[in-house]
Chains A and B, each alone.
Chain A
């Protein structure tokens, strides 16, 4: 199935909606009957205890897992099965819980790789690397340098990413996702394992991305302070079931959420 090329979605409208989606691996139900939506231009947090099905949810959204039941509507078009490639083509980018950079490549090449879908010249032009092929390469380098400036990673652009410290790797990974110019950016624990300064930097980048590029963001995060400060709306999953959905304040005072995180006296 091709990526939806529907009419542009304006701010505040629903960009992606998930209706009654269930996913199971054999006998294990990862996600059961979850429905929520993501509106254009918002920062939407998905939280929940370990094993709640958060990452499975992201994998469903970008087509890596195919749910057994339910409908996913992206930009007004419902889809049953979608290949990851089509999701990427449609404007969904993501980062990973464990950094999934291309370890043998430099930071610059990693981010350039994010522009793959935007590059049109075929192999024969690339082989000659003259005229239009070189112009295309230069044009995309230009865009990538803008992202490098935005994320303030100028001095490491030539460094192989395997040599970078963890915090910078996370930043390069964000850059690689931004290079795709996504409409919907999925961040899987962008701040896991960071110290407080790195978390503050990353929070600022997330807010800037949302503000500057108008990118809709769905993020999974365990640091409740970050989630409550950054997100416009929060959906809470527990054992694959949605237990709460609303603004950070509503969710914070929800009894089911408190029970899920703190446990209930039996």
Chain B
């Protein structure tokens, strides 16, 4: 009833091509951003439920934001360009370890000449780390020019296992720390040290907001159409002048860059100190599931999928406790696995295109409500 676009006429193509052409959507977005940027910090400052304590920020919002960013990265590659990848964890790890090396100073002892880079500030470290991830992404994307689908997924799996091994075995990456675990340097952004959970949350929020906007611009621009054309009908795309080399490798590069940023944030902001296990194959699968359940080829879907996969188990965990059912913690965690798995199966049967499709169907229905058509 309130969701009507009647009377909203566009007089320019620029207005017609904006991300949210319907006014109600734009209002909703601004409200959401206001809540995220102003509302939550205010609630936190005055210790008002549910954002008064650290738990909500630390255990839910921060990982949700970072994994959403990783899901956006994978969605560009798998959802938009159609290249199935199981190497997300590896690209995140490269982002994290490269950022760590840039942040603590790079020293490469070649026999004849030494290459030394002094420790860089935090922001350049993260971006350079992500750039390293993009370079490796391009390298591991080269097989995609010849192989497709599941075969490509296996090739990206090679990246996952190779970098798992590298970051465990090559001590140089962990600055020769005996335990193999690494602690993040201070999160110093232009002299401001990010420390409190609310500051960490805002830092992630800024990164995610900026990268989500840039990603959205890419996928609705010329390069995005090239990606989708390559995904949907690669031969027709090639006959129209789209170079498969450029389309696929640019998708690998952009996707790995974003996943690199997400990896650096995951390591520095969420974990603080981490081991290579933080970026294992489990992480790759987790992000792939987010993308599939959220909706392939949708930026919004990346957020919805991340929320579902990450938040649902946490909520389910609380249910027996809240109801006062006396079940042991181990049983609860097992039940959570079972229920989450069952929900994923059910969801994929009901709506194989994920939450993003549910959302758009819902919006179409809402436009006509209460009439059937």
A binds B: yes
Residues of A near any B CB (own CB < 8 A): 62, 64, 84-85, 87-89, 93-94, 96, 100-105, 109, 112-117, 119, 121, 123, 126-129, 133-134, 137-138, 141-142, 145, 176, 180
B254's nearest neighbour on chain A, judged by CB, is A123
B338 at the interface (CB under 8 A from A): no
In the assembled complex, the Cα of A17 lies from the Cα of B287 at a distance in Å of 53
B226 at the interface (CB under 8 A from A): yes
Query: Would you call the interface of chain A mostly helix, strand, loop, or mixed?
Result: helix
Q: A121-B222, A126-B217 are in contact. Are A102 and B233 (CB under 8 A)?
A: yes
Could you tell me if B239 and A88 are in contact, using CB atoms closer than 8 angstroms?
yes
B297's nearest neighbour on chain A, judged by CB, is A104
How many residue pairs link A and B with beta carbons under 8 A? The number is 98
Given A100-B233, A141-B17, 13 extra CB contacts under 8 A: A84-B241, A85-B243, A104-B232, A105-B229, A109-B225, A115-B222, A116-B241, A119-B222, A126-B222, A127-B214, A128-B214, A129-B221, A176-B240
Could you tell me if B238 and A103 are in contact, using CB atoms closer than 8 angstroms?
no
Least Cβ–Cβ distance between A216 and chain B, in angstroms: 17
Could you tell me if A127 and B218 are in contact, using CB atoms closer than 8 angstroms?
yes
Could you tell me if A133 and B221 are in contact, using CB atoms closer than 8 angstroms?
yes
Which residues from chain A contact B228 at a C-beta distance below 8 Å? 102, 104-105, 109, 113
Of the listed residues A85, A100, A138, A176, the one surrounded by the most CB atoms of chain B closer than 10 A to its CB is: A85
In the assembled complex, the Cα of A129 lies from the Cα of B218 at a distance in Å of 8
Closest 9 CB pairs of A and B: A88-B241, A126-B221, A102-B232, A100-B236, A129-B217, A117-B241, A113-B225, A141-B13, A119-B222
Q: A116-B226, A138-B17 are in contact. Are A180 and B241 (CB under 8 A)?
A: yes
Of the listed residues B223, B225, B228, the one surrounded by the most CB atoms of chain A closer than 10 A to its CB is: B225
B12 at the interface (CB under 8 A from A): yes
Which residues from chain A contact B232 at a C-beta distance below 8 Å? 101-105
In the assembled complex, the Cα of A100 lies from the Cα of B17 at a distance in Å of 25
Which residues of B, 208-240, contact A by the 8 Å Cβ criterion?
214, 217-218, 221-223, 225-226, 228-229, 231-233, 235-240
Least Cβ–Cβ distance between A131 and chain B, in angstroms: 12
Least Cβ–Cβ distance between A123 and chain B, in angstroms: 5
B242 at the interface (CB under 8 A from A): yes
Which residues from chain B contact A128 at a C-beta distance below 8 Å? 214, 217
Which residues from chain B contact A180 at a C-beta distance below 8 Å? 240-241
Least Cβ–Cβ distance between A50 and chain B, in angstroms: 21
Selected from B14, B225, B231, B239, the residue in CB contact (under 8 A) with A84 is B239
Q: What 1/0 mask marks residues of chain B from 239 to 261 whose CB sits below 8 Å from any chain A CB? A: 11111000000100010000000
Which residues from chain B contact A127 at a C-beta distance below 8 Å? 214, 217-218, 221
Q: A102-B229, A113-B229, A123-B250 are in contact. Are A85 and B223 (CB under 8 A)?
A: no
